[in-house]
Amino acid sequence: MTTTKSRTMQTAVLGVSGYAGAELARLLLHHPRLQGRAPIFFGRENASGESIALTDLHPQLADNNGSASLRVEAFRWAALREREIDVVFLATPHEQSRAWVPDLLTHGARVIDLSGAWRLQHPENRAVYKFEDADATIAATTQQQAVYGMPELHRAAIKDAKIVANPGCYSTAAILGLAPLVRSGWADLNRGIICDAKSGVSGAGKAPTAKTHFMYAADNLSAYSIFGHRHTGEILEQLHLAPQQMTFTPHLLPIPRGILATIYVTLREPMQASAIAECYRSFYKDSPLVRFHGERLPQIQHVVRTNYCDIGFALAGDGRRLIVVACLDNLLKGAAGQAVQNMNLLFGWPEQEGLL
């Protein structure tokens, strides 16, 4: 597989039927570097084995610009192998990504996996997924090749990666909100960091369940998966924290999309707000998809349907109690947008290409 600029890259999306899949399809179809070569879409909706129209699956993708001809094929390995594909996006269930990625790599495709299958290097963190690897050796080798796909932290490694493990939505907000501070060494980790996070309902997936029923989610707020959410391990690994140093609490918001994380940190020594601001500004100066607002707090409506992570903070009068607020669109910077950002890095394009 080559990535010269002389031809248009061929992308493929496996699992296009969910919310992140729909956003991914939209971003790839409008990506300036991919014009003239539509992604190959694979899905599982078409039980009979026949392809269906992408716009039947996602009517919001219909436009009068050729969208009517886009098809979603039933996935078959043969259909993958017979095409030259430069990058495969997996928006599949965790278990499926875990099972398929090793084979995809042998076919030569670079992989950006939106599931949680390959994000965690430490087995104890991965345990929450209960993966049963058919071949433990292959899984371990594959795992070592996986790069955590957060460009703001691992830009260089992503460029050369065979497998990009695209971060979780909550993890993206928490890690981007904390990374500058934790790296600075100013946080008193022994006092514990608290991340009180709130997410819109799209984060719970497209399957109709009791908790995604309108009557459950509307006019309500509830905490869930306290002390046990799957994204916790990503935050610990990326920030090099011990489990007792991070308390992560997700809540289900009565809105379609958006995450806001309110993060509480105690500083070792009293500090000035200006120093905090400088720390974040410097850390993200080359990151076009993070907007740092200083002491102005961000809110969900300004990031929804954008690929940005917005960050702001407030420092108590005592100079030690710091609150960082980070927010993003869980389907974009928290999923499909970050995946495209990673694709841009893989192909040597500007990180924000097709994302503004």
Shortest distance (Å) from residue 91 CB to its own copies? 16
* 65 touches its own copies by CB under 8 A: yes
* 59 touches its own copies by CB under 8 A: yes
CA separation for the pair 107, 49 (Å, rounded): 23
Print the binding letters for residues 11-30 with its own copies: x by CB under 8 A, - otherwise: --------x-----------
Shortest distance (Å) from residue 101 CB to its own copies? 28
Contact 264, 321 (CB under 8 A): yes
Residue 89, helix vs strand vs coil? strand
Residues in the chain: 356
Residue of 36, 49, 214, 269 that binds its own copies (CB under 8 A): 214
Residue nearer to its own copies on the CB measure, 149 or 200: 200
Instruction: Encode 267-291: b = buried (16+ Cβ within 10 Å), e = exposed.
Output: beeebeeeebbebbeebbeebbbbb
* 275 touches its own copies by CB under 8 A: no
CA separation for the pair 276, 273 (Å, rounded): 5
How far from the centroid of its chain's Cα atoms is residue 296's Cα? 25
Residue of 26, 107, 155, 254 that binds its own copies (CB under 8 A): 254
CA separation for the pair 328, 172 (Å, rounded): 9
CA separation for the pair 356, 354 (Å, rounded): 6
Q: Is 195 assigned a catalytic role? A: no
The CA R_g of the chain, rounded to the nearest whole Å, is 20
Considering only residues 185-204, where is the footprint of its own copies by CB under 8 A? Answer: 191-192, 194, 196, 198, 201-202
* 53 touches its own copies by CB under 8 A: no
* 208 touches its own copies by CB under 8 A: yes
CA separation for the pair 19, 24 (Å, rounded): 9
Tokens of residue 73, six digits:
């094929």
* 265 touches its own copies by CB under 8 A: no
Considering only residues 290-319, where is the footprint of its own copies by CB under 8 A? Answer: 291, 297, 299-302, 304-306, 308, 314, 316-318
Contact 204, 252 (CB under 8 A): yes
Residue of 262, 271, 273, 277 that binds its own copies (CB under 8 A): 262
Residue nearer to its own copies on the CB measure, 34 or 80: 34
Q: Indicate the helix (H) or strand (E) that contains 324.
A: strand 321-328
Contacts with its own copies by CB under 8 A lie at 19, 59-60, 62-65, 191-192, 194, 196, 198, 201-202, 206, 208-210, 212-224, 226-227, 243-244, 247, 249, 251, 253-256, 258, 260, 262, 264, 266, 288-289, 291, 297, 299-302, 304-306, 308, 314, 316-318, 320-321, 323, 325, 327, 352, 356
Active site residues: 169
